[in-house]
Chains A and B, each alone.
Chain A
Amino acid sequence: MNALFYIASVVAIAATIMVITRLNSIHALLYLIVSLLSVAVIFFLLGAPFVAALEVIVYAGAIMVLFVFVVMMLNLGPQTVEQESRWFNPKIWIGPAALSAILIAEFIYVLISHGRQNLDTRMINPKQVGFSLFSTYLLGVELASMLLLAGIIGAYHLGRRKEAVFHRYFRRPDALYERLHPKEENKIDENGLKAGDKPLSKTNVSGMKQKKSERGEL
């Protein structure tokens, strides 16, 4: 058991070092996934299979996929790798690395002076985790749920549709449009476009609408 723990820890540390030193961001993210997986193995060995499974599902499986997704969308080319390699010179990293080394040495000294402790591998099953979450740590769960609620409201606000457009011929005038343009302007000409489409496309932030009006004018 101890040997497995140390193997997983070494993998975690090595992978994390690779995360920092990679120049290509996707490669760095791949090493980060490996690091998270090895942390999940450590959790499993310490007797917390539920936490291990959640670590893989939430961190390695969901959050990191979104990271990879965003980096893919950014479309970083070889010039970013060059830029990274210019930034990654000893002048920049040697200071923080030396300071961290002092802290690590201190930490190791403390661990050694406290003497060795064996791993306490008591299995905690999912039911026990649930019980303690909804009794001892209830306040934490409530606070986390409020934080998530704020996130959901923010996402809802950002993703709200200004106007339901099924097709430009079936466009419905929305509230903003009505405010900007009086009623008599609100007619639809033979192209299926309303008279005041040009100012609308400039004032409205909805990119979808702008594209549609541009296409209509061609």
Chain B
Amino acid sequence: MSPLLQTIIITVVVLLVLMTIAANLIWVERRMLALWQDRLGPNRVGPLGLVQVVADMVKIFFKEDWIPKFADRPVFFIAPTIVIITVLMSFAVIPFAPGISVVNLNVGLLFFLAMSSLGVYSVVLGGWSSNNKYSLLGSLRAAAQMISYEVFMGLSLMGVVILAGSFNLNDIVEAQGRITWFFIPQILGFFVFFLAGIAETHRLPFDLPEAESELISGFHSEYSGMKFGMFFVGEYLGITLISSMIVTLFFGGWLGPSFLPPVVWFLLKMAVFILIFVLLRAALPRPRYDQLMSYGWKFLLPLSLLNLVVTGLVVLLLK
């Protein structure tokens, strides 16, 4: 099999699997929230309500796709696509199993950070082009929040880079096979990255850009139909991305006892973190906006700097 054909097959399979996961996460999230809140959740359409996703998709495709007259049309149009494109591009560097990744980039981790920093534009431009006070407030919040949490996100990963000695995600996973899973030496880094990941995907408890009680769902309140659906799917893709990055960087990626194939290990670990994301939504209230920002700059930034310095020191001493 030629390498080009192999790359194309891997790309298509990864895309299909991701879109399936993202769509079914809607059902998973609603059922799990219901379970944790002592309700039933959607259980009517098909066995266990599994076909609910199809029903939702059909409905959302047939909704009127309305663009407000006062909106900035071209920007309004491209804003929802940016989130999908950047998140799907980030998946290109993630190794799902030995040899199964779309591209083996030697700056893979930086590529992930670059794509997640470009993802901010989706929310910012969506809110601005809606030409609506609440949307603008939401996107201002999103811009400030995501710019701040990107800083800690990048810094918290540098400890992993020091331990593995590479930005290549394949090398990082292999280094975890040699040393140990990085969440043990990098517990602080894992903690900061996890919180920054929640803020980057603006999920509850850090969903202040779309706080529906104050901002009427913020940056996407003017969106309808499939454009809204793209923000929605983008959010679930974002959760999947952050979960797979946590697995790759801190929990040994595809590594695991050999009675299951590596891909299955990867997907199982990813599923655990996705469920933690859902549980957080069920369990925690939203903080105030200034609390979120001061928590980030006054607690997480010093913590990630400390983690970086201590990791560097220990690695130098052990050499």
Contact = CB atoms under 8 A, between A and B. Distances in A.
B128 A72 contact: yes
B15 interface: no
The 10 closest A-B pairs by CB, nearest first: A61-B117, A53-B110, A56-B114, A49-B107, A69-B143, A53-B107, A57-B114, A72-B128, A65-B120, A53-B114
Contacts of A125: 106
Contact of B111 (A30, A53, A68): A53
Nearest to B129: A26
B90 to A, nearest CB: 12
B167 interface: yes
Contacts of A68: 121, 124-125, 128, 143
Interface-centre pick from A27, A54, A60, A69 (highest chain B CB count, 10 A): A69
A66 interface: yes
B72 interface: yes
Interface of B: 72, 74-75, 105-107, 110-111, 113-114, 117-118, 120-121, 124-125, 128, 136, 139-140, 143-144, 146-147, 150, 154, 167
Given A27-B75, A49-B105, A53-B107, A65 B114 contact: no
A164 to B, nearest CB: 11
B74 to A, nearest CB: 8
A52 B72 CA distance: 31
A33 B136 contact: no
A26 B128 contact: yes
A147 interface: no
A66 B143 CA distance: 8
A73 interface: yes
Given A50-B107, A50-B110, A57-B154, A66 B147 contact: yes
14 contacts: A26-B75, A49-B106, A49-B107, A50-B107, A53-B114, A54-B110, A60-B117, A61-B114, A61-B117, A61-B118, A68-B125, A69-B147, A72-B140, A126-B106
Nearest to A24: B72
* Interface residues of chain B: helix, strand, loop or mixed (majority): helix
Interface-centre pick from B114, B121, B136, B154 (highest chain A CB count, 10 A): B114
Contacts of A126: 106-107, 110, 167
B118 A69 contact: no
B107 A60 contact: no
A25 to B, nearest CB: 11
A69 B139 CA distance: 9
A33 B121 contact: yes
A49 B111 CA distance: 9
Interface in A1-33: 24, 26-27, 30, 33
A62 B110 contact: no
A72 B72 CA distance: 13
Contacts of B154: 57
Contact of B124 (A24, A53, A69): A69
Interface in A44-87: 49-50, 52-54, 56-57, 60-62, 65-66, 68-69, 72-73
B117 A72 contact: no
Contact of A61 (B107, B120, B136): B120
B140 A69 contact: yes
A205 B263 CA distance: 59
A57 B110 CA distance: 8
Nearest to A125: B106
Given A49-B107, A125-B106, A126-B107, A65 B167 contact: no
A68 B72 CA distance: 15
A57 B143 contact: no
Contacts of B121: 33, 65, 68
Given A50-B107, A57-B113, A123-B106, 16 more contacts: A26-B72, A27-B74, A49-B106, A53-B107, A53-B111, A56-B118, A57-B114, A61-B120, A65-B120, A66-B143, A66-B147, A69-B140, A69-B143, A72-B139, A72-B143, A126-B106
